[in-house]
A and B are shown apart, each in its own frame.
Chain A
């Protein structure tokens, strides 16, 4: 419940802060209702749990991407970081390491990539679009270079459980995502770290003059993206039982689409984890339903394109600044 505020003349819907999320949720419910009529098997729990396995990497990466976009930044390199982490994981495992140790090495490699992105953005003052466009190519290049494009598989079943197992009927990657989403939401909405992220997105110069450690926070959000990309890579490797250099290709576009669809302003300063969750869900459900009902892969590109435009229009409709 939101208080109606001092200005009682203004109708309640102008005060309501969650229009974007509400409309998005209604769209998702509408889609699922139509889906249950057109193809009842699509909305069963079994199908939804089965199809969800494709969503977790996207969902995980959307969390730190929300933070980055709120700082008015962007990270195009997360798909490539995933690839590099996966290759590090695979090669460490192949060298005889325990797969869980290998996964930690992969996550550390991902974090290192993120720190590199963050430092270049914060210290060298290069636009994040340029920095991560460069590392998008560079990290994948390194991944391909050190693995020579060779896939590594043969992970033990105890490790592949990370990607394919369930706990109490919920897929394990889903549980990991649930915990992380909660942490991200709290960190963003309720901590000084989160508030600084909004402040940097609104006005980096004013943030710096008011004593915020802008550089440190910037490095932290990009590093966080690297860490989560490393984690997503471990889940991916476990799920497909293969580590190779071409995973996550083009994933950054899906992630950015989900975040923007979820109401985070691409110009920074506003956005919420709740919106991102709905954005991920909207993309996932739409895409899976199109695939389920029509079995035509090429339609998916159109759907994602239309969704992105819809997101921007939706944002403009509810963005108070444009009123």
Chain B
């Protein structure tokens, strides 16, 4: 019986792979050539924090799934860019195949990254980018447009209506990331929800107490306020606390970008319905796949698509591979994530 099952499985596999060969899609599925092995060093901005640990778990999963792949996950436990640069130098001497860098200070890491490239080691960036001449590809978790649109869509869904007043609590008025998201949010609102009125954009200067105060003031100034975007990891919990203390949970909706652990309590008590972030494990997984494809030359400049196996096909825009998978944490799934 068992043999029969195995035989069935084998024939099904053969059929599937046969079909794959026949289809017109270019074959870019990542594999490691038999008999060869590949070593990938994965450098986080800071080792020992939950966000990066969960990325590393995804990278390990990819290594296991592919076989013959060694992932070295190490980084400065204090986030020091000097130590990160030393690690790149160490891996260059050791002769790893690929170094995937999440740079905590691109200017400090640049000499080490260039020296590694000169020695023939492939350098890619993930999570955060560096100067284009120091790496071949950047694995981008999400574009500003995707983040902006996901936040707008999440808030409209939580509000349950496509009209009303909303406001943004941002980091600072000069923060580049946040401003790019705000532009994308404005475009999305104008495009899809013309009856939603963005009444204010207030900075909290990355201070949770100020975010709390700003959100309180917004609710007083606009009594009909329907929703708030807290678009930094500080603005979001600060504003959520203000809504909770004002007893306006359910009346004023709030969403934003944050890690699930920081928002778990607000999600459970109903103040927050949705938290937007990307799938960190998939980011680590994709990074390993891209590293291998860059190493064996299957992913070259000019590609427009990258076949990431179980993650599906990922778009390649210029020299960026997009993860394209924003996650919305809600009370139903937030307990599955621990970072």
* Contact surface of A with B, Cβ cutoff 8 Å: 41, 46-47, 50-51, 53-54, 151, 153, 160, 164, 239-242, 244, 246-247, 249-250, 288, 291-292, 295-298, 301
Contact = CB atoms under 8 A, between A and B. Distances in A.
B76 A295 contact: no
22 contacts: A41-B94, A46-B93, A47-B93, A50-B93, A51-B89, A51-B90, A51-B93, A54-B86, A151-B105, A151-B107, A151-B108, A239-B111, A241-B111, A242-B105, A247-B82, A288-B90, A291-B74, A292-B90, A297-B83, A297-B87, A298-B47, A301-B77
A240 B74 contact: no
B73 to A, nearest CB: 8
A41 B108 CA distance: 27
Contact of A295 (B74, B77, B110): B74
B159 interface: no
A240 B90 contact: no
Contacts of A242: 105, 107-108
B93 A53 contact: no
Given A151-B108, A164-B111, A240-B108, 12 more contacts: A41-B94, A46-B93, A51-B89, A54-B86, A54-B89, A160-B111, A240-B85, A241-B107, A244-B108, A291-B87, A295-B72, A298-B77
Nearest to B112: A240
Contacts of B37: none
B94 A292 contact: yes
Interface residues of B, number: 25
Contacts of A292: 90, 94
B90 A298 contact: no
B48 interface: yes
B256 interface: no
Q: Identify the 5 closest CB pairs spanning chains A and B, nearest first.
A: A50-B93, A153-B107, A295-B74, A242-B107, A295-B72
Nearest to B96: A295
Contacts of B28: none
Interface of B: 41, 47-48, 72, 74-78, 80, 82-83, 85-87, 89-90, 92-94, 105, 107-108, 110-111
B111 A240 contact: yes
Contacts of A46: 93
A298 B93 contact: no
B89 A50 contact: yes
A250 B87 CA distance: 18
B71 to A, nearest CB: 10
B89 A53 contact: yes
Contacts of B90: 51, 288, 291-292
Contacts of B48: 298
Nearest to B75: A297
B75 to A, nearest CB: 6
A297 B90 CA distance: 12
A120 B75 CA distance: 39
A200 B94 CA distance: 47
Contacts of B74: 291, 295-297
Nearest to A247: B82
Contacts of B92: 50
Nearest to B92: A50
B183 to A, nearest CB: 25
Contacts of B78: 250
A323 to B, nearest CB: 41
B62 to A, nearest CB: 18
A41 B90 CA distance: 12
Contacts of A297: 47, 74-77, 83, 87
Contacts of A244: 105, 108
Contacts of B105: 151, 242, 244
Contacts of A50: 89, 92-93
A241 B106 CA distance: 11
B74 to A, nearest CB: 5
Contacts of A296: 74
Nearest to A50: B93
Nearest to A296: B74
Contacts of B41: 295
A239 B89 CA distance: 12
Contacts of B47: 297-298
A59 to B, nearest CB: 15
A240 B103 CA distance: 14
Nearest to B109: A240
Contact of B110 (A41, A241, A288): A241
A291 B93 CA distance: 12
Contacts of A47: 93
A51 B78 CA distance: 20
Contacts of B80: 246, 249
A153 B107 CA distance: 7
A301 B83 CA distance: 13
